[in-house]
Copies of this chain bind each other. A is one copy, B any other.
Amino acid sequence: MRQAGRYLPEYRDIRGDRDILETIRIPDEAVEITLQPLRRMPLDAAILFSDIVVPLVAIGIPFRIEAGRGPVLDEPFRSRRHVARLRPLEPEVDEPYTLEAVRALADELDVPLLGFAGAPFTLASYLVEGGPSRDHARTKALMFADPLTWEALMGALVDVVVPHLRAQVGAGASALQVFDPWVGALAPAHYRAYVLPHMRRLFEGIADLTVPVIHFGVGTSELLELMRDAGGAAIGIDHRTPLDRAWERLGHATAIQGNLDPAVLLAPWEVVEREALDVLDRAGGRAGHVFNLGHGVLPDTPVENLQRLVDLVHARSERDG
């Protein structure tokens, strides 16, 4: 999950009013922002400061990031003609700044660096809706009404995402996250028909890499088994599915990342502690549990709550061996 962000005053200082995509394209600043949370807390890993639309911008899709809204595209994708604008990513040429930041971080860090990419469904939604969407209606309308264009779109996105992930590992990332926050909008039968084959091709495209891959979604209670079958060493879940229920469905051989509700961190420490212990209790000390929030850190989160949370989780891990 993104660790950097507006909850840190030093992040707000370095970002100022600049466009976030402009900041990401300056390797020194991406490195600095990636390191900021680690100077505050002894985190077990760092996650590259970037954005899921970066590789799309890198091949010429003119997303901008609107503050308080997210990625916006003025001419949304609605037809085969739009899909033709996508081409396979060539990271060394198209996004050298990403690789430069990853190399510098891999040199500097004492903990693993996570690279990441948006998954095809989530990227498709931004392309088709032209921005964040509650119901993803136009995306699903394209999927249902024009399956050939949908296949072309999803296939082209896999050819952007796979090189993006491979290049991050080539530059020194030691783990990856495939980030599919919007896929929970689909019924399982539709995930199976319209998304799963592309996710399989994505995971096949990085199968020879030796790094662990976390496969994350939001609101995916009904999709967990299909996401596991698609690929990933660990499945990332949000707070909606209790960890113990997720393991019941996935089997105990699957590692799970999650899943404290980020809104809990807005409450006093006593509440954070109680809720974090509940998550850890549901994990029952399993080696296959990667503690995390169920989604990104909210802007108003007190840093002290995060710091104490990291200490609490470490103390419990040591106790449980």
Binding site for B on A (CB under 8 A): 132, 134-138, 140-141, 144-145, 184-190, 219, 221-222, 239-242, 245, 261-264, 266-268, 271, 275, 278, 295, 298, 300
Contact = CB atoms under 8 A, between A and B. Distances in A.
B263 A240 contact: no
A292 to B, nearest CB: 15
Contacts of A262: 135, 137
Contacts of A221: 221-222, 240-241
B263 A140 contact: yes
A266 B137 contact: yes
25 contacts: A134-B134, A135-B295, A135-B298, A136-B263, A137-B266, A137-B300, A138-B266, A140-B261, A140-B263, A140-B264, A141-B263, A141-B266, A144-B266, A144-B267, A144-B271, A144-B275, A184-B240, A185-B240, A187-B239, A187-B261, A189-B242, A221-B221, A221-B240, A221-B241, A222-B241
Contacts of A275: 144
Q: Which of A138, A141, A189, A278 has the most CB of B within 10 A?
A: A141
Contacts of A140: 261, 263-264, 266
**Interface SS of chain A:** helix
Contacts of A189: 242, 278
A141 B184 contact: no
Nearest to A294: B187
Given A189-B242, A219-B219, A264 B134 contact: no
A183 B282 CA distance: 22
A120 B138 CA distance: 30
Nearest to A264: B144
A8 B170 CA distance: 55
A144 B185 CA distance: 27
